[in-house]
Structure 1
Amino acid sequence: MAQVYLSLGSNINRAQHIRAALNALVEKFGELEVSRVFESEAVGFQGDNFYNLVVGLQTDLPVGQLALSLRGIEDANGRLRSGPKFSARTLDIDILTYDNLTGTIDGVKLPRGEIVKNAFVLQPLAEIAPQAVHSVEQKTYRQLWDEYDQASQKLWPVEFIWPGA
């Protein structure tokens, strides 16, 4: 079984879509590690604030099949893919890491570049996997978060109730 970390985000009916995604992930993969939910301003475009979190899970699906499964969850939650890359969305699920794989596997670049670029990915990842090591940077996620310019992006935890927690 591979250890996988995913980032989840939504800025349209945020709580509804994040809960639906968590429920679908539990149904497909079983037990999840779930970070706190953080609210952040939109990055790359003007829009409503996002809810973001990181989820850890284990799977025996290969990277490509996992990506297709996650895309299905996004689609089931009304994800539209016809707009610009940086735009409002009902649900976005990205594979951050898959074990310690590096490079492009089945069309998925691992580890995902947003880990070291965006506070809304790095902080929740450091929260649930502080001692895990970034396969390229060769630093723990806690070290990367401690070294990150934490004033560069506004991010704050929000109260979020998910019955599956």
Structure 2
Amino acid sequence: MEWDKIKIEDLEVFANHGVFPEENVLGQKFVVSAVLYTDTRKAGLEDELSASIHYGEVSAFITEYLKSHTFKLLEKIAEGLAEEMLLKVEGLQKVKLEIKKPWAPVGLPLKTVSVEIERQWHTAYIALGSNMGDSQKYLDEAVKALDEVRNTKVEKVSGFITTPPYGVTDQPDFLNGCLRLRTLLYPEELLKELNRIEKEAGRERIIHWGPRTLDLDIIFYDDLVMEKDELCIPHVEMHKREFVLEPLEEIAPYKRHPVYGKTVREMLEDLREEK
């Protein structure tokens, strides 16, 4: 979806940021520009400010954030501000920030130094599985743990299904499910959180496809196609696994695979026809 834009240009803020101690004590001017990506359709039809993002309130939010923190780097200011805006400003889907430092202490005749970033909400689908101990409890606690990550929100959870083991068949049946979450984390950061939650549930990676208390896998992340040694998105085996596709079809039947072009429902139907 192409979002509408609300622009704030060259908001001046006097604040205390910089690598040098005197910058933190004396302070200096920073100039902030922001592009707020949102849906202005309702506000445009109803002519009501409550249906849109209040740029005055956002300007005050930016000013307060810069004044109430002290950081060394422009990069840190931009990253922290973008995250706070996405978490706190209702209706904000994506933000583009440029933070300029007109009085940068470099001892050379330059007009300004700036950092520009774009950050946004992402949608990820996570597969959950367990076949050791109280599997229902492990899955429920994993959903809760993900929802408690500060910059992540679980939006929808499938029902859990009992399925036979995959790969190594000499082990108990699995309880499987899928969830959709909204996150500001990058894929590798999200994987790190999943691994942390697995470890806290007592997961030990001893036997490939072996029994485990908790298994969490990224199936989709927006429409990203990514191939790294430690992480492949979409999950490379997802189209072959009914225990992934069945609960995923419950919450995202028309989500389309960015490589194969088929919806989750179509992939599930194809897999069942092959049996």
Q: TM-score, normalised by structure 2?
A: 0.53
Are 2:189 and 1:65 aligned? yes
Amino acid at match of 2:155: L
Instruction: Name stretches of at least 5 consecutive residues in structure 2 with no aligned partner.
Output: 1-120
- Code of the aligned partner of 1:19: D
What is the CA–CA distance in structure 2 between the aligned matches of 1:99 and 1:20, rounded to whole Å? 25
Q: Residue 16 in 1 paired to residue 140 in 2? A: no
Counterpart for residue 248 of structure 2: 125
- Structure 2 equivalent of residue 34 of structure 1: 157
Quick check: 2:132–2:213 contact (8 Å CA) kept in 1? yes
Contact 2:158 2:179 in 1 (8 A): yes
C-alpha deviation, 1:31, in angstroms: 3.3
The structural deviation recorded for 1:30 is 2.4
The answer (yes or no) to whether the contact 1:96–1:112 under 8 Å persists in 2 is: yes
Q: 1:75 aligns with which of 173, 194, 199?
A: 199
| Equivalent position SS for 1:52 | strand
Q: Find the counterpart in structure 2 of residue 101 from structure 1.
A: 224
> The residue matched to 1:53 in structure 2 has which SS?
strand
**Matched residues, percent identical?**
34
Write the deviation string for residues 61-111 of structure 1: whole angstroms up to 9, x where unpaired.
Answer: 011110001100000000012x11121100000000111111315831010
User: Per-residue CA shift, 1:21-54, capped at 9, x if unaligned?
Assistant: 0110111122331111010011111100100001
CA 1:106–1:59 in structure 2 vs 1: closer, same or farther (change >3 Å)?
farther
Residues 136-155 of structure 1 correspond to what in structure 2 (within 5 A)? 136-149=259-272, 152=275
Provide the rounded CA distance (Å) in 2 between the counterparts of 1:105 and 1:123. Answer: 26
Instruction: Provide the rounded CA distance (Å) in 2 between the counterparts of 1:99 and 1:21.
Output: 21
Any conservation in 1 of the 2:156–2:181 contact (CA below 8 Å)?
yes
Answer 1 or 2: higher relative contact order, Cα 8 Å, separation at least 6: 1
2:148 counterpart SS class: helix
Deviates more, 1:20-29 or 1:67-76: 20-29
